[in-house]
């Protein structure tokens, strides 16, 4: 992978790598996309996967898992093949609704609660419902979602429900001052909640460097600090940001911000935060190098110091995860393309995450050739 090539969007690279890694890239109809059991596997048959897909009757991705009402609830993207040609702005990732899933335990049966939110019910939405997250506060559940507005600019919306399974009712407007993709909401033990968000290339974060939207992509030079993800504290009602949007600083072992040219470690998309032994773990995808990396800090606002790779590259171009504790064990939810062999038609999975006594995390390898 050429480190220095910026295609202006992750999705052009997705197509290139999809062809390289996925081999056969046949067109799939929308109907076929919903019957994954019949989808041809484009990857070598001898490839060994660590775990099995959790859902097999539709394509699912970007799993955000939470424990609500002592069950595991999963809020994934719902991948479809919309029949849109691959384009460098990711238009073919044209998801249109979300389903919520739940399990009593990680080994239990998975239940599909049906459509939780449909793009046609979001008044300001244009297209592309990407990776969502959910939160609970004061008897209400909140679904946070990125979607392009009618001007084709990614914003983050919120929808509410009295049930973790939905259905969710969207607010009439996006969250003020929100932009880009991949919201992840972490509620600390003191009750304060924080939203982390952002994604470069197709996620448009590079268009917000000045604080205002600029349709031209602008990246710092390779020897300059990388574009950082964003964090904002949530208001008490969880519907807006309470205060300014700040950079999440990810530092190297010498306390210096990771650099743009450090593709193996710098932030790309898919932020997630969990807390373990009083420390805050910020994990994220490195995008074009396909790792899920993690960094540790003493505050939910950062800074975080890079520690290593939590999940090696999976089959497929994107890598996106969540980390959740349930019944005394830590679990990693992630996705790959085992069912389809196509990079935009993914399936969610789960495996145990092992934290060592010194607080570092054992790297997971999700498949072997």
Nearer to ligand FUB, 62 or 336 (CB): 62
What are phi and psi for residue 110, nearest 5 degrees?
-100, 135
CA distance 332 to 354: 9
If the CB atoms of residues 14 and 135 are measured against ligand FUB, the closer one turns out to be: 14
On the question of a cis peptide bond just before residue 167, with omega within 30 degrees of 0, the verdict is yes
270: left (phi over 0), alpha (psi -120 to 50) or beta: left
Nearest to 71 by CA among 102, 101, 99: 102
Give yes or no: 62 in active site.
Answer: yes
- Closest approach, Cβ 124 to ligand FUB, in A, equals 18
For residue 236, give the nearest of 92, 135, 368, 106 by alpha carbon: 135
Q: Based on CB atoms, which residue is closest to ligand FUB, 269 or 336?
A: 269
* Residue 269 among the catalytic residues: yes
> Cα 354 vs. chain centroid, distance in angstroms?
21
Those residues with Cβ within 8 angstroms of residue 224's Cβ, 6 or more apart along the chain or in another chain: 259, 260
Contact 288, 261 (CB under 8 A): no
Site of tokens 């790779």:
309
Min dist. Cβ of residue 71 to ligand FUB (A): 24
Q: Strand, coil or helix: what is 13?
A: helix
In this structure, are residues 273 and 229 in contact, taking their beta carbons and an 8 Å threshold? Answer: no
CB of 233 to ligand FUB, least distance (A): 23
Q: How far is the CB of 335 from ligand FUB (least distance, A)?
A: 7
CB of 31 to ligand FUB, least distance (A): 21
Closest CA to 194 of 181, 179, 184: 184
Q: Is the peptide bond before 110 cis (omega within 30 degrees of 0)?
A: no
Q: Tally Cβ neighbours within 10 Å of residue 19.
A: 13
Closest contact distance (angstroms) between CB of 70 and ligand FUB is 28
Catalytic residue among 269, 288, 336, 338: 269
CB-based burial label for 126 (10 Å; 0-12, 13-18, 19+): middle
Please name the residue that has the structure tokens 């110091």. Answer: 305
Residue whose CB is less far from ligand FUB, 73 or 98:
98
Residues contributing to the site for ligand FUB (CB under 6 A): 61-62, 77, 93, 130-131, 181-182, 199, 269-270, 318, 320
Say which of 62, 79, 86, 262 is annotated catalytic: 62
Residues annotated as part of the active site: 62, 269
């Amino acid at each position: 992978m050429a480190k220095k090539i910026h295609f202006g969007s992750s999705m052009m690279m997705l197509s290139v790598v999809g062809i390289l890694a996925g081999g056969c890239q046949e067109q799939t109809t929308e109907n076929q996309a919903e019957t994954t059991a019949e989808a041809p596997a484009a990857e070598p048959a001898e490839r060994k996967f660590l775990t099995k897909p959790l859902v097999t009757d539709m394509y699912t991705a970007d799993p955000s898992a939470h424990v609500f009402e002592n069950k595991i609830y999963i809020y994934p993207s719902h991948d479809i093949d919309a029949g849109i040609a691959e384009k460098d702005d990711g238009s073919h990732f044209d998801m249109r609704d979300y389903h919520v899933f739940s399990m009593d335990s990680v080994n239990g049966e998975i239940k599909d609660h049906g459509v939780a939110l449909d793009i046609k019910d979001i008044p300001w939405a244009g297209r592309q419902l990407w990776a969502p997250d959910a939160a609970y506060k004061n008897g209400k559940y909140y679904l946070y979602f990125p979607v392009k507005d009618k001007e084709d600019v990614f914003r983050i919306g919120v929808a509410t429900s009295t049930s973790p399974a939905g259905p969710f009712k969207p607010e009439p407007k996006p969250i003020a001052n929100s932009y880009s993709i991949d919201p992840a909401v972490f509620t600390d033990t003191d009750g304060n909640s924080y939203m982390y968000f952002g994604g470069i290339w197709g996620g448009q974060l590079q268009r917000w460097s000045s604080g205002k939207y600029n349709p031209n992509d602008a990246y710092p030079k390779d020897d300059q600090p990388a574009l950082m993800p964003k964090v904002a504290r949530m208001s008490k009602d969880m519907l807006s940001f309470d205060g300014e949007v700040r950079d999440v600083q990810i530092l190297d072992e010498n306390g210096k911000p990771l650099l743009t040219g450090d593709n193996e470690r710098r932030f790309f998309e898919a932020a997630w935060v969990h807390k373990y032994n009083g420390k805050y773990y910020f994990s994220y995808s490195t995008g074009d190098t396909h790792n899920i990396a993690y960094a540790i800090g003493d505050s939910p606002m950062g800074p975080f110091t890079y520690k290593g790779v939590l999940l090696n590259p999976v089959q497929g171009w994107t890598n996106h995860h969540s980390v959740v504790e349930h019944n005394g064990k830590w679990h990693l939810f992630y996705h790959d393309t085992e069912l389809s062999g196509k990079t935009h038609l993914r399936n969610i999975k789960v495996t145990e995450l092992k934290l060592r006594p010194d607080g570092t995390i054992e790297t997971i390898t999700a498949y072997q050739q």
